[in-house]
Amino acid sequence: MDTFNQMVVEMIGKETQQERLAGNRNDEPKAARPRTPASAPVPDQGSTMTAIVQERYGAPERVLKLEEIDRPAAGDDNVLVRMRATSVNTPDWITVAGVPYVTRLAFGPFKPSTPVRGTDVAGVVEAVGPNVTDLQPGDEVFGSSWDHDLPKRSGAFAEFAVVPASQLIKKPANLTFEDAAASVMSGLTALIAMRDVGGVGPGTRVLINGASGGVGTLAVQIAKTLGAEVTGVCSTRNLELVRSLGADHVIDYTKEDFTRGDQRYDLILDNVMNHPSCATAQVLTPHGMLIPNSIGNTGGFFAGLPRMARAALMGRGSTDVQFVTCVVNRENLDALATLLESGVAKVVIDKVYPLSEAANAVAHMLGHHAIGKVVITV
């Protein structure tokens, strides 16, 4: 690693495998926030906004409609963001399609319990809740509303979105709103997979299946920054891209099955799960780790969930199987911002759609061959 990369590694707070075993930093409780000064701006609760609304499951073009709805209020600990860009992630297309069907048990049996999709956020602070003291109207911010209870009609596919202040930071000036929005869920998942779960360090041999997707393109770059020897698996048309992101080796899955190769890997991040986990585990080193990270692209009642469940079962035996969870907090967002601001990692964007064409953006992701990220601008 050169000195600059070493500096970035220190700034993104890399944990070694040993440190990881001593405790995952993402389990740490979030810092308490100070109470509000009486003069804090109050959220505007009166107006309406344009949003993409979903009232049933189905094909994006049939179920996603551009409508005028009430603008949500920020709430005590939240920020109302005037949206500039968002991006499409797996939870969005799953909730639009309602497939795999079993996910409807969680999202709502007949229609999703919340009508506005989208969690990645980049925009300008419009108003802050009374408990938010370190952000103010006019600040350019990025973050995510992922995994948080928020007003029912709030989501990022809209003119305004409510985001917990604890999941929002100021956007680096040299980062566009599109890049910032596109980086959040994919980048945090890649960062946590490589840095925290995988404990990647100098010389770790990492294979990333699905190296040309949103998570994969960032995981390749983050693993390289941490000093790994990286192999990326993608199709012929994406070989050059994955190489250009820093992969030391590329495998064209249309010509070669990596699970049958002679190479062995300390860590495999499987973003596709197109092979049974027992086959993938065959190319791990004796103490190697498998991170299964896809519910699959097959649709149906369960899609790839049985394959994920079998991987979890395999982890009860001699194979080290760990899962990655996207944890959005300021510490992780700062680490991601450092990577992007320094230019050590860049966001690959396949296509940008205006909000009115959000259905096409979701359909693009449902094709499962996006190169990097699909972005929606507002």
* Residues near ligand NAP (CB under 6 A): 89-90, 185-186, 189, 209-210, 212-216, 233-235, 238, 253, 271-272, 274, 293-295, 324-326, 365, 368-371
- Dump the DSSP string for 24-56: -GGGSPPPPPPPPPTTPPPPP-S-EEEEEEE-S
Comparison of 75 and 164: residue with beta carbon closer to ligand NAP:
164
Q: Are 238 and 263 in contact (CB under 8 A)?
A: no
In whole angstroms, give the CA distance from residue 180 to residue 192: 17
We find the least distance from the C-beta atom of residue 254 to ligand NAP, in angstroms, to be 8
Nearest residue to the partner ligand NAP, using Cβ? 213
| Tokens matching residue 35 | 């109470």
Q: Which is nearer to ligand NAP, 118 or 214 (CB)?
A: 214
Q: Which residues have CB under 8 Å from 2's CB, separation 6+?
A: none
- Cα(270)–Cα(339) distance, integer angstroms: 22
**151 vs 293 by CB, closer to ligand NAP:** 293
The CA–CA distances, whole Å, from 6 to 11, 143, 227 equal 9, 25, 9
* In the complex, least distance from residue 186 CB atom to ligand NAP, rounded to whole angstroms: 6
**Comparison of 26 and 133: residue with beta carbon closer to ligand NAP:** 26
Residue 63's H or E segment, with its range, is helix 60-63
Q: Indicate the residue among 354 and 367 with the shorter CB distance to ligand NAP.
A: 367
Smallest gap from residue 213 Cβ to ligand NAP (A): 2
Q: Which is nearer to ligand NAP, 259 or 293 (CB)?
A: 293
The residue among 341, 339, 245, 345 whose CA lies nearest residue 12 is 339
Element (H, E) at 320: strand 320-321
Shortest distance, position 142 Cβ to ligand NAP, whole Å: 17
CB of 138 to ligand NAP, least distance (A): 31
Shortest reach from residue 278's CB to ligand NAP, in Å: 17
- How far the first Cα of the chain sits from its last, in Å, is 39
